[in-house]
């Protein structure tokens, strides 16, 4: 019986609306219409940010905190929009960020660092069946790259936003099963879930 991960981007926030580097305590957008996840799961994990906790609460999922699923550490850019970064630090730094995946001049993590951390998370042994992971869209995109063996430079070629779900199967060698928008991945009658067993979230 294979392990499967359903990686879910947290609900929209002010930062995701304007492509900013979010603060750790940023609230989710209250316009989101949460619905309970009813699929059978073995485990549920989430990043440490309050927006991940609030998303889990909205989905009625009891997810354990795992710092390995934390959002990118954007250093001194945290909480700033792209325009604010340019105004405060100049366009060259932001340009390096977009062109060089090893750049960490803001004092936090590079995109290469993030990919390495997420790659490690995918190597953690988990029980057969479905594990839910709630993290930032950037982490979800990085997990997809890690599963497919692609470099961090390819992040710009992957589209996965708030509340998008990426499901991978296998472990430690992963394959993409599907990418779905909300609320499609909430589907309660997934044949693989029934085959794997597990507990239904309610």
Looking at residue 196, its pLDDT comes to: 74
Residues 6+ apart with CB under 8 A from 65: 45, 46, 47, 48, 53
Q: Is 158 helix (H, G, I), strand (E, B) or coil?
A: coil
What mean pLDDT comes out for the span 104-108?
97
Mean pLDDT, rounded, of the chain: 93
Do 45 and 127 form a contact (C-beta atoms < 8 A)? Answer: no
Looking at residue 1, its pLDDT comes to: 67
Looking at residue 188, its pLDDT comes to: 63
pLDDT, tens only, 3-37 = 999 999 999 999 999 989 999 889 999 889 999 99
- Band the pLDDT of 177: cuts 50, 70, 90: very high
CA 21/CA 79 separation, integer angstroms = 5
Half-sphere exposure of 158 (CA within 13 A, CB side): 25
- Is 202's pLDDT higher than 60? no
pLDDT, tens only, 149-166 = 999 999 999 999 999 999
Looking at residue 191, its pLDDT comes to: 76
pLDDT, tens only, 43-95 = 999 999 999 999 999 999 999 999 999 999 999 999 999 999 999 999 999 99
* Number of neighbours of residue 134 by Cβ within 10 angstroms: 30
Do 97 and 73 form a contact (C-beta atoms < 8 A)? Answer: no
């Amino acid at each position: 019986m294979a392990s499967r991960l359903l990686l879910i981007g947290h609900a929209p926030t002010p930062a995701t609306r304007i492509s900013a580097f979010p603060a750790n305590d940023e609230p989710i957008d209250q316009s989101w219409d949460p619905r309970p996840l009813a699929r059978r799961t073995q485990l549920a994990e989430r990043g440490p940010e309050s927006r991940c906790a609030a998303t889990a609460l909205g989905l009625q999922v009891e997810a354990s905190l795992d710092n390995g699923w934390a959002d990118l550490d954007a250093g001194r850019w945290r909480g700033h929009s792209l325009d604010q970064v340019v105004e405060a630090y100049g366009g060259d730094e932001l340009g390096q960020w977009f062109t060089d995946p090893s750049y960490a001049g803001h004092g936090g993590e590079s995109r290469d660092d993030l990919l390495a951390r997420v790659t490690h998370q995918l190597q953690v042994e988990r029980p057969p069946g479905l594990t839910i992971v709630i993290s930032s869209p950037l982490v979800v995109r990085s997990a997809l790259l890690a599963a497919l063996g692609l470099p961090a430079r390819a992040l710009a070629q992957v589209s996965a936003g708030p509340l998008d779900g990426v499901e991978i199967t296998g472990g430690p060698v992963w394959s993409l099963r599907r990418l779905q928008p909300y609320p499609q991945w909430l589907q309660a009658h997934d044949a693989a879930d029934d085959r794997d067993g597990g507990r239904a979230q309610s």
